[in-house]
Structure 1
Amino acid sequence: MLDVIASPLISKSDFDAACDELSRLFAERHNLQSEWLSVDVHDRNDTRFLRIMKPLCTRVDVALGDSQEQSDERELMEYDEEALEPSPSHQGVVVEYDIVFSPSFQVPVLYFNIKDLLFRFPPTMDTLYRHLIPLQFRSQAEKAGVIGGITLTDHPLTNAPVFFVHPCQTVSILGASRGKEELTPIEFLMLWISAMGGCVGLHLPIALAEK
């Protein structure tokens, strides 16, 4: 019988089990989707975490080099996921998402950065707003709104400079998002990705979510 989680919090053991299960599901179904490049479980300093990698996509206005005035006009429009697409100039550039368990908050925490051999995407707030945060989340990220705020920090396991979504609002968001009282660990992790990842371009592929 699978363990179930009855609150918006998760234990370390359930988090580890969920990471293993998502990695297994990706290995089985990766050819049914194109959003994610890899899903791997890593261990560092006796800590297990999940790493998801996906191609860097950019807004059409950025990819085509619109003027600042045109870009500002587009930002007033409702955000459309179809306006995100891979740019030829970004071929080989990936976004690395690390999902790490927080013992103090008892929820997963998302750390992420852009990997580029040409070092064109430094870990700065300008990079964050220009290439990673969808337009409808921009004001929330800047003002630490409903998603909790997105800032620069040092990765807790690698010490490299990365972006992260602060977990202060995670429990409230998960509490409002869950549709049933009890979830298995993998259902919890999928719910968390769906609720927290979209603000920085991490969306759960349908092929992994299907039963």
Structure 2
Amino acid sequence: MSHHDEYRQWPFLTQEEFELACAFFDQKYIRAKLGPKRRMLKIRPRRAATTGASFIEILRLIQLPEDEDDLSRALEKLGGDVSTSECEMEIDSRSEDADEEALRPNSIVPPGPGLPPQYALYSHQPYVTYEIHLHQTYNVPTLWFTLHDLPMGEPSFDLDSVYRYLVPDEFKSRLRAAGITGGISAAPHPITDVPSFFIHPCQTKEAMENFDCPIADYLMVWLGLVGGCVGLWVPREMAIDDAGNQ
């Protein structure tokens, strides 16, 4: 039985279908038994306050600090609000306190007697923010990404930095050959209007047409096709349902 009947026009998504796909993706992250992996990968549903458009934000440390204290501070940063889009708010009102594995921010240092509170100093650990937005022209998801806290002298908005920190060796030649029509492109961010990188969605239709997946798995399948080229892999545990099946 084909799952294409779940969509108005497979493999394209309407705004409503995209929001439903985002909700399923968030649900998979919350329910997955990720263990320590959850500390390195933070997935959050978002909604832009200005437009009401929903999207998914994914935060990932680029490399593991060797020092345990540095690691702890870096993980605290991922638990806080480090989004590139300051005008966002949470899609729903669920509290992460219900998720025992979720990382919680802890940016305030308890003050001593008679002293005002002090804010903890985070160690500068490189991290990447990925965002999944629905492209208003192509009507398919689009993966945006920005680098943060790179070593001094290395610009974050720089294609060479992207290839150095995010693109695995096996993808580099193919991405460079694809050029602006199919590889890594740059444009104003769909919410902040700040220059950002994204994976051009022009080839998404042809790639997704080979699959037959329910809307609950749409973003999982799509990320499996586009995420790896910029260092984003969805944990296998998110593909396992409550019954333990894939």
TM-score for the superposition, normalised by structure 1 = 0.74
Confirm whether residue 11 of structure 1 aligns to residue 14 of structure 2: yes
> Over residues 125-150 of structure 1, what are the superposed CA-to-partner deviations in whole Å (9 max), with x where a residue is unaligned?
110111111112112221226x9110
Q: Which runs of 4+ in 1 moved over 3 A?
A: 30-33, 86-91, 117-121
Using the TM superposition, give the Cα deviation of residue 30 of structure 1 relative to its aligned residue in structure 2, in angstroms: 5.7
The structure that is helix-richer by fraction is: 1
Q: Is the 8 A contact 1:22 1:39 kept in 2?
A: no
Aligned equivalent of 1:157: 191
Q: Which protein is bigger by CA-based radius of gyration?
A: 2
Aligned equivalent of 1:102: 135
Structure 1: 5+ residue stretches without partners: 58-85
Using the TM superposition, give the Cα deviation of residue 184 of structure 1 relative to its aligned residue in structure 2, in angstroms: 2.0
Using the TM superposition, give the Cα deviation of residue 33 of structure 1 relative to its aligned residue in structure 2, in angstroms: 5.7
Picking from 30, 52, 77, the partner of 1:27 is 30
> Over residues 147-168 of structure 1, what are the superposed CA-to-partner deviations in whole Å (9 max), with x where a residue is unaligned?
9110222211112222110001
Q: Which amino acid aligns with 2:165?
A: H
Using the TM superposition, give the Cα deviation of residue 14 of structure 1 relative to its aligned residue in structure 2, in angstroms: 1.2
**SS of 1:144's equivalent?**
helix
Identity %: 29
Q: Is the 8 A contact 1:19 1:41 kept in 2?
A: yes
Using the TM superposition, give the Cα deviation of residue 88 of structure 1 relative to its aligned residue in structure 2, in angstroms: 3.8
Using the TM superposition, give the Cα deviation of residue 50 of structure 1 relative to its aligned residue in structure 2, in angstroms: 0.6
Are residues 186 and 115 of structure 1, via their aligned partners in 2, closer, same or farther at CA, if it must alter by over 3 Å? farther
Confirm whether residue 139 of structure 1 aligns to residue 141 of structure 2: no
Aligned equivalent of 1:55: 61
Structure 2: 5+ residue stretches without partners: 75-125, 242-246
Aligned equivalent of 2:206: 172
Q: Which amino acid aligns with 1:189?
A: L
Q: Is the 8 A contact 1:148 1:170 kept in 2?
A: no
TM-score for the superposition, normalised by structure 2 = 0.64
Instruction: Work out the CA distance in 1 between the residues paired with 2:150 and 2:184.
Output: 24
